Amino acid sequence: MVTRARVRPDAFVDSVALMQASERVRVLPGVRAAALVMGTELNRRLLAEAHLLPAEAERAGAADLVIAVRAESAAVAEAALGQAEAFLAARRSDQGPERSSPPRSIVGAARRLPGANVALVSVPGAHATAEAHQALSAGLHVFLFSDGVPLADEIRLKRRAQARGLLVMGPECGTSLVNGVGLGFANRVRRGHVGLVAASGTGLQEVTSLIHRLGAGISQGIGTGGRDLHEAVGGLSTLQALSWLGRDPETRVIGLVSKAPSAAVAARVLEVAGATGKPVVAYLPGFHGAPPASVLSVATLEAAAVGCVRMLGRKRPRLDGRSGRAGRPRTGQVLGLFTGGTLCDEARAIVGDAAREFVDFGADDYTRGRPHPIIDPSLRSAAVACAGGDRRVGVVLVDVILGAGAHPDPAGPLAAAIGEARVRARRVHRTLEVVAHVVGTDEDPQGLADQERKLQKAGARVCPTNRLAAELARDLVRGRRGR
């Protein structure tokens, strides 16, 4: 073990730089101890106590820099002294990257975006409640896409929001159109004077897209989450959105859409909707109560869209599109394979006892740990392909959902799956009919016409509304003639 030192006279280096250099020398291989200090009396005493003060450094003064090293050999010590000098001489970069790391919380993000008004929350369900509450604390309206939020949490969130004049859209809210901007999955539709409230994501997408295709437009489209009209939730967000639409000068007609509601809540919501003084069209499947006079109650999403447009004063709103004739009956029943829950429910009700099975690939069981089928429709595509080999299935009924956030080309992989299904059916000497409806508009990034054409080329019959598609599927099985 040897100790070596160098003294550099009148070499002032600030103490922190010296400590840093000491640290770098100390960790060099073979070095046992190292110190770079100014040669003050105190420092020389400390060096002596640490056995780091060889004779050559004993007479250093307060203005002298002492570099001392103890190492396993003289060569290592000398090399380390050279290294120490090099560390001190090296110019340190003063061009540290301007680190502006992204915000780590909704509160932090809101602080950085003045005027922020909506939080879009799509984190895993177990953490969604905390994020939504945090957003409310930050004074933000909440679009809560996440599913798996307990009902009690939903109620608490909505009550809290209501007391603060904030709106919770969700949980499990697929879409909203706020001030013409889509949140979540949303179709490009023109602005107009129909204001919608929907406790149903794909229901809202179907109605807004059809209204666009009928030539009218949307003022606001507020999703409230599929459970909003449940008894326990009591329509908290729907009632709030209705009162806003009632006062919104851009909104001339109000449309109300929901998954199957609680009868009591539906009655209350209709009453409030009627009291806005604006014409109201309501699609509340399974609700058979008597609506107020100003409310038109309809049985299908298509009728909701047509009704809203008619209430705006248009005479005969018409949808283009051929569905074809049903002709003679097919063997087997209708298999519904859907990516939209409300579309699935509506179609199932229309198909009735001609249904073999209806599957909603957007249900919790299919989305746990994987993206929503509107983003990634591969599970549904696989099911379509399989249906070709199932002799109990005569007709496959599908939906395709376009818009922002959706798969960039959902008809592409579906067309391939349809082709495969038909090949499989042919192998067992059967014909498989596929009926499809595409939810979307000509302005959607995927292009409605383009997507429809892909499905038609694959041999699917494409209908302009979910209602027409379901009826055609049913009639294909029953053999009733199409209209």
Partner 1 sequence: MAAEGGLFGAELRVINAGVDLFADALGARGVEVSRVDWRPPVSDTVAALWRDEVDAANREALRRLGAAQPVLVDVRPALEVVPGMTPTTLLHAGPPLPWARMSGPVRGAVIGALLYERLAETQEEAERLAGSGTLTFDPCHHHAAVGPMAGITTARMPVLVMENRAGGNRSYSTLNEGLGRALRYGAFAADVIERLRWFETVLGPALGEVLRRIGGVDIRSLIAQAVQMGDECHNRNRAASALLIKTLAPHVAALDIPAVERERILAFAAGNDHFFLNVGMAACKVALDAAHGVRWSSLVTVMARNGTEFGIRVSGLGDRWFTGPSGTPVGLYFAGFSGEDANPDMGDSAITETAGLGAFAMAGAPAIVQFVGGTPADALGYTRRMYEITLGESEAYRLPALDFRGTPTGIDVRLVLQTGILPQINTGIAHRLAGIGQIGAGLVNPPMACFEAAGRALAAELAGADRGSGSGT
Site residues for partner 1, 321-380, by CB under 8 A, read: 375
How far apart are CB 117 and partner 1 at their closest, in Å?
A: 6
Binding segment toward partner 1, per CB under 8 A, in 81-89, 175-183, 290-298, 381-389: 175-183
Binding flag, residue 156, partner 1 (CB under 8 A): yes
Residue whose C-alpha is closest to residue 64's, from 18, 9, 128:
9
Q: Which of 183, 216, 355, 425 binds partner 1 (CB under 8 A)?
A: 183
| Residue 69 in contact with partner 1, rule: CB under 8 A | no
Q: Does 126 bind partner 1 (CB under 8 A)?
A: yes
Residues 396-415 that bind partner 1 (CB under 8 A): 404-405
Using the minimum distance from each CB to partner 1, give the nearer residue, 221 or 307. 221
62 sits near partner 1 (criterion: CB under 8 A):
no
Q: How far is the CB of 376 from partner 1 (least distance, A)?
A: 11
Min CB(95)–partner 1 separation in Å = 8
| Stretch of 108-116, 384-392, 421-429, 454-462 lying at the interface with partner 1 (CB under 8 A) | 108-116
Output the 3-class SS for the chain. Answer: CEEEEEEECCCCCCHHHHHHHHHHHHCCCCEEEEEEEECCHHHHHHHHHCCCCCHHHCCCCCCCEEEEEEECCHHHHHHHHHHHHHHHHCCCCCCCCCCCCCCCCHHHHHHHCCCCCEEEECCCHHHHHHHHHHHHHCCCEEEECCCCCCHHHHHHHHHHHHHCCCCEECCCCCEEEECCEEEECECCCCEEEEEEEEECHHHHHHHHHHHHHCCCCEEEEEECCCCCCCCCCCCHHHHHHHHHHHHCCCCCEEEEEECCCCHHHHHHHHHHHHHCCCCEEEECCCCCCCCCCCEEEECCHHHHHHHHHHHCCCCCCCCCCCCCCCCCCCCCEEEEEECCHHHHHHHHHHHHHHEEEEEECCCHHHHCCCCCCCCCCHHHHHHHHHHCCCCCEEEEEEEEECCECCCCCCHHHHHHHHHHHHHHHHHCCCCCEEEEEEECCCCCCCCHHHHHHHHHHCCCEEECCHHHHHHHHHHHHHCCCCC
Judged by CB under 8 A, does residue 83 bind partner 1? no
The answer to whether the CB of 285 falls within 8 A of the CB of 348 is: no
Interaction between residue 178 and partner 1 (CB under 8 A)? yes
CB of residue 443 to partner 1, shortest distance in Å: 12
Name which of 146 and 451 has its Cβ closer to partner 1: 146
Q: How far is the CB of 439 from partner 1 (least distance, A)?
A: 16
Cβ proximity to partner 1, 94 vs 353, nearer residue: 94
CB of residue 255 to partner 1, shortest distance in Å? 16
Residue closer to partner 1 by CB (options 92, 328) is: 92
Piece of 1-9, 247-255, 279-287, 415-423 that binds partner 1 (CB under 8 A): 247-255
93 binds partner 1 (CB under 8 A): yes
As a whole number of Å, the CA-based R_g of the chain is: 35
For partner 1, the binding residues in 2-41 under the rule CB under 8 A are 14, 16-17, 19-20, 22-23, 26, 33, 35-37
Judged by CB under 8 A, does residue 165 bind partner 1? yes
The residue with tokens 């129909």 is 194
Candidate segments 161-169, 305-313, 411-419, 470-478, binder of partner 1 by CB under 8 A? 161-169
Check residue 184 for interaction with partner 1 (CB under 8 A): yes
- Measured from the CB atom, the residue of 242 and 296 that comes closer to partner 1 is 242
Give the sign of the dihedral formed by CA 312, CA 315, CA 321, CA 326. Answer: positive
C-beta of 50 vs 449, nearer to partner 1: 50
Q: What are phi and psi of 308, to 5 degrees?
A: -60, -45
User: At its nearest, how many Å lie between partner 1 and the CB of residue 256?
Assistant: 17
Binding-site member from 29, 41, 96, 320 for partner 1 (CB under 8 A): 96
141 near partner 1 (CB under 8 A): yes
58 φ, ψ (degrees, to nearest 5): -60, -25
Report the residue number, 55 or 163, with the smaller CB distance to partner 1. 163
Amino acid at 363: A
Q: Which of 1, 63, 152, 264 binds partner 1 (CB under 8 A)?
A: 152
User: Under the criterion CB under 8 A, does residue 442 sit at the interface with partner 1?
Assistant: no
Q: Does 181 bind partner 1 (CB under 8 A)?
A: yes
In the complex, the smallest distance separating the C-beta of residue 138 from partner 1, rounded to whole angstroms, is 8
